[in-house]
Structure 1
């Protein structure tokens, strides 16, 4: 143990990606209180009880996973940092995951009654498929290796969230719940950076391993993904069979599972590509976000095709794949 306490020095950067990520995250800071969610009430009143139930469960599930990421995920990753600046970046991510979780409560407060909100949270605490994936991810956070923890985080941020994101993006593509979707697109933009950054840190550690150890990690990684996807299929059927979207959502999930693998520097697993995803949903992602005054200097447009890597001018870390 060092006999002194080391102050963080942002003028001496060990890894330029730490600084670039910090700047990217602070540039796109946002809060849910700046989005006029009440403007979506007219759309909400025209939707069916089945749609109300779907939206509530989707956001209940996302709230639980964001809570996991903020309360356990980032603290687990901070145990294995390479630089002080990396810890600062993870602190930022941890806070924004809390902002994401709170944002869903703002949506509930606007759209739902108190009894409906209670029912949503009760469902999230007892649904077996939702609890399964939360417990699987958290088990890795609590007992996994440093690389396994990073895999779990990337799978959560770039894959598991997307069964929930599909719903608001679908409605946005049909010009419904536009302000709710504004929040989701801001969250998507954050998750793009989170998944890219943590995937990059995984690759640094992975590339230091021997070939035999790399194969062992890859075997575990793909087995873990298969396990999560199998559960996600059941979760998707539970949520979407009633509205007939299940197969579309599963395609979207497989597409994003490939994105998660690419973040980790691994080969895609599923055949699903951009062109296979419902174009209405892709259009919802691609549409630039509304220009509320609070965001006028932020530039919060986002395209799903950039999930696995930021723009070159944002991240030029020269990784070979």
Structure 2
């Protein structure tokens, strides 16, 4: 009996054009942390109070853990249910960039923190109950969930759970502090915007194939998960930001982004918060464009490949219908 032939991927024959468009978007946005001059932020770092420095260490530690989860487990879980070879290629790209994101936080640590401080940050990250709780909730779904549940969990991670950590560097950027640290965050945010929208689109394709009863059950499951994650995120936010008096502002931001995650899945918002309720300094920073840097001294705009904006919702809508 002849062996089944191994099929070469053919990018000239595309079943789902969004695979090709997303591949091109992500490769245009390619960047590496090694080209961002983080040491230029040291003077700003030294002006921050000890509680602020401690808060940022915990924030970046938590973000490192979530990117590690996504790169090591999340994308692998979704590959089990891929529809096309091109989708696998896009997921490979996403998986690599999640590893770049995780590594970028270590570059921040090695620039701003002592060796002892870095060890303390990782010890805290690997034992904090609230970080571990959200990682456990998501990873359990990656291990045991069906394809829709895994995609929904991934979108909630990409489009919601990162944002309690993104708030602080965006706020400092708006106050003219730590611009190069914020540049990395904006590059990461730009990637996550595409990741969340793309995987949300794939969720919607599978969701639309369900019966009406199955859709209602799935929708209820997503809302229950969102609310469970939000309750834990509130506790995490209080732990991180209470001392600085930022907690209520950050909670508005995470509710807004929880709604954005639900939008990526094709669902109505859970919370009343809109962009108008978010601190305008932070909303200005959340814009996915990155700053312009001089070619010979600093590299910005995602490796000087142009001010590539994240894929907008309308770029996807025409392919979902």
TM class by shorter-chain length?
over 0.9
The answer as to whether partners of 2:186 and 2:289 remain within 8 angstroms in 1 is no
Residues 201-246 of structure 1 show CA distances to partners (whole Å, capped at 9, x for unaligned) of 0000000000010011111111111110000000000000000000
Distance 1:83 1:318 in 2: 16
Residues 95-154 of structure 1 show CA distances to partners (whole Å, capped at 9, x for unaligned) of 000000000000000000000000000000000000000010000000000000000000
- CA-CA distance at 1:310 after TM superposition: 1.4
Q: Indicate the residue corresponding to 1:103 in structure 2.
A: 104
Tell me whether 1:29 sits opposite 2:36 in the alignment: no
| SS of structure 1 residue aligned to 2:269 | coil
Unmatched segments (≥5 aa) in structure 1 = none
- Range 59-68 or range 280-289, more displaced: 280-289
Tell me whether 1:213 sits opposite 2:214 in the alignment: yes
Q: Indicate the residue corresponding to 2:51 in structure 1.
A: 50
Q: Indicate the residue corresponding to 2:127 in structure 1.
A: 126
| SS of structure 2 residue aligned to 1:317 | helix
Residues 2 and 48 from structure 1, CA distance in 2 versus in 1: closer, same or farther, beyond 3 angstroms? farther
Distance 2:288 2:26 in 1: 21
The answer as to whether partners of 2:104 and 2:184 remain within 8 angstroms in 1 is yes
Tell me whether 1:310 sits opposite 2:317 in the alignment: no
Residues 241 and 8 from structure 1, CA distance in 2 versus in 1: closer, same or farther, beyond 3 angstroms? same
Q: Indicate the residue corresponding to 2:305 in structure 1.
A: 298
- CA-CA distance at 1:285 after TM superposition: 2.4
Q: Indicate the residue corresponding to 2:281 in structure 1.
A: 280
- CA-CA distance at 1:299 after TM superposition: 2.9
When normalised by structure 2's length, the TM-score is: 0.94
| SS of structure 2 residue aligned to 1:3 | coil
- CA-CA distance at 1:67 after TM superposition: 0.2
Q: Indicate the residue corresponding to 2:229 in structure 1.
A: 228
Distance 2:147 2:250 in 1: 31
- CA-CA distance at 1:287 after TM superposition: 8.1
- CA-CA distance at 1:300 after TM superposition: 3.7
When normalised by structure 1's length, the TM-score is: 0.94
Unmatched segments (≥5 aa) in structure 2 = none
Q: Indicate the residue corresponding to 1:148 in structure 2.
A: 149
The answer as to whether partners of 1:186 and 1:300 remain within 8 angstroms in 2 is no
* Alignment RMSD: 1.6
Q: Indicate the residue corresponding to 1:194 in structure 2.
A: 195
- CA-CA distance at 1:316 after TM superposition: 5.9
Q: Indicate the residue corresponding to 1:261 in structure 2.
A: 262
Residues 168 and 281 from structure 1, CA distance in 2 versus in 1: closer, same or farther, beyond 3 angstroms? same
| SS of structure 2 residue aligned to 1:10 | coil
| SS of structure 1 residue aligned to 2:151 | helix
Matches within 5 A, 1:45-124: 45-124=46-125
Q: Indicate the residue corresponding to 2:245 in structure 1.
A: 244
| SS of structure 1 residue aligned to 2:318 | coil
| SS of structure 1 residue aligned to 2:268 | coil
